[in-house]
Structure 1
Amino acid sequence: MKVLVIGATGTIGSAVADVLTAASHQVVRASRTGPVVVDLDDPATLDAVFSTVTGLDSVVCCAAHGPLVDLESVTDEEFAAGAQAKLWGQVALARRAIRLLPDGGSITLTGGTFSAPLARGSLGALINSGLEGFVRNAAAELPRGLRINLVSPGWIRETLEGMGADGSDGTPAADVARAYADLVEGTARGRIVRF
């Protein structure tokens, strides 16, 4: 299977690309910099990647994040910009992939999970809920046996350790990556995998 992994230089994305490569899939690694460029803030890069990378069977997006913002002081513009890449960028990616993937193709997006209310997490909660609703409903609308799913990781062990925090509160990136691989290789539609 030929799989485009967007965000392939990040902690989760690189682990996903490695797991899929180890399973003998042909993986095209994309990121904001490098030979295959995708920036979810720039729809033109989505069009460009789909015109140059052909023959894809699956698209996996591990890119983008929603910033933590102070609900009381954030401006409307900052709030909208915070949702642009992770929410609207992934929706734009999925809409393009739907038109270009073959029958039975797969799209896997990335949300997030808060185990409890998080200070400055209202925007992130909005984005994650929006992605979950989009995936659940889009799965019922997709033509030609196409599938769409969402992985919603919480804290990643390696990220916590990189921040100088206790990594034991996070899930190893390799464990999260296996969930992406299971969705790419499986038959699930509209599934939300939370960690």
Structure 2
Amino acid sequence: MKILIIGGNGTIGSKVSNHFSKNNEVIIAGRTSGDIKVDIADSKSIKSMFDKTGLVDAVICIAGEAKWAPFNDLTEDDYYIGLKSKLMGQVNLVRIGQHYLNSNGSITLSTGILADDPVMKTTSAAMVNGGIHSFAQAAALEIPIGTRLNVVSLGMVEDAYEKYKDYFPGHNPVPMKKVINAYVRSVEGKTNGSIIKYYE
């Protein structure tokens, strides 16, 4: 398969990219590194990326940002960071990317546990994650027949434990093998419109 992975050099993305590259052609796109540069907050940049890749069999997005801050400190503009990047960025990947998929292709988006189990300072991120879940379930009903759209929603992953452990007291880190398998399930399975949750 020809697989495009946006955010394929990040903490999670690098492990996912390494796995799929063993038996597939993998193209990595990112804002600052990769085979192709893309800013998912800009739909023109997304269109340009797909024009460069041409048709692909699978798209995986492991990118997008949102502001983490106490609720009473978040401004309207702070919310728009997540809305424009992680939410609309992934919406536009589906909206544009569906036209660059080979038959029986798939698109996999990424969210996280905050949609179901938020912690302090994550109002914006939790809102965006929940919105992506609802979007994907609805859009999967209307995308072209044969195309599949799923979301991988992860808890705090092992490789990010030291960085985020203070935000998630008592949470069990998700083993990286489970993380990889979540994306394998979305890309190589037959499910459509699913939120694939691995929270521990």
Q: Normalization by structure 2: what TM-score?
A: 0.89
Separation of aligned partners in 1, 2:58 and 2:68: 30
The one-letter code sitting in structure 2 at the alignment partner of 1:21 is S
The aligned counterpart of 1:171 is 174
The aligned counterpart of 1:64 is 64
Q: Normalization by structure 1: what TM-score?
A: 0.91
Query: Counterparts of 1:104-123 in structure 2 under 5 Å?
Result: 104-114=104-114, 116-123=117-124
The aligned counterpart of 2:185 is 182
User: Is the contact made by 2:61 and 2:108 (CA closer than 8 Å) also made in structure 1?
Assistant: yes
Task: From the superposition, tell whether residues 76 and 106 of structure 1 become closer, same or farther in structure 2 (CA, over 3 Å).
Answer: same
User: Is the contact made by 1:11 and 1:173 (CA closer than 8 Å) also made in structure 2?
Assistant: no
Gaps of 5+ in 2: none
Separation of aligned partners in 1, 2:176 and 2:26: 18
The aligned counterpart of 2:90 is 90
Task: Provide the alpha-carbon RMSD of the alignment.
Answer: 1.9
Q: Does 1:49 align with 2:49?
A: yes
The aligned counterpart of 2:132 is 131
Residue by residue over 1:121-177, the C-alpha shift from the partner in whole angstroms, topping out at 9 and shown as x without a partner, is 211111111000011111111113110000011101111124576998311233212
Separation of aligned partners in 1, 2:184 and 2:74: 37
Separation of aligned partners in 2, 1:125 and 1:61: 18
Identity of aligned residues (%): 34
The one-letter code sitting in structure 2 at the alignment partner of 1:95 is R
User: Is the contact made by 1:6 and 1:60 (CA closer than 8 Å) also made in structure 2?
Assistant: yes
Structure 1 residue 77: Cα displacement: 1.3
User: Is the contact made by 1:19 and 1:181 (CA closer than 8 Å) also made in structure 2?
Assistant: no
Question: How many residues align structurally?
Answer: 194
- Work out which structure has the larger RCO, using CA pairs closer than 8 Å and 6 or more positions apart in sequence: 1
Structure 1 residue 70: Cα displacement: 2.0
Separation of aligned partners in 2, 1:159 and 1:53: 30
